[in-house]
């Protein structure tokens, strides 16, 4: 998956990621129907990589990160962490 992020200070960051989501069939069916499901009821993790020409956010080009996700009806929310 590839997306383009725009920061609140108008910098552009490309993000490429792969992920995995699994859980009980009934929970995944509820997510597919757009229902709200607790994040603890299923597993959603990503491995994102960043690319930017921004001097301010250039450090993102040099990190390994992992993310924990939660799927809302309007789309996913991720908490992303640098692996130290």
Domain residues for the domain of 59 are 2-82
If pLDDT is split at 50, 70 and 90, which confidence band does 81 have?
A: very high
If pLDDT is split at 50, 70 and 90, which confidence band does 42 have?
A: very high
Nearest to 43 by CA among 69, 67, 65: 69
What is the total count of domains within the chain?
Answer: 1
**Residues with Cβ < 8 Å from 70, sequence gap 6 or more?**
39, 44, 76, 77, 78
The model's pTM: 0.87
Beta bridge partners, 4, equal 14
CATH no. for residue 17?
A: 2.40.160.20
* Region 51-78 average pLDDT: 96
């Amino acid at each position: 998956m590839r997306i383009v992020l725009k920061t609140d200070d108008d910098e552009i960051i490309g993000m490429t990621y792969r992920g995995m989501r699994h859980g009980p069939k009934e929970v995944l069916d509820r997510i597919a129907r757009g229902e709200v499901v607790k994040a603890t009821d299923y597993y959603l993790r990503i491995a994102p990589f960043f690319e930017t020409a921004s001097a301010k956010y250039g450090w993102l080009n040099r990190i390994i990160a992992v993310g924990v996700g939660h799927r809302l009806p309007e789309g996913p929310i991720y908490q992303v962490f640098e692996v130290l």
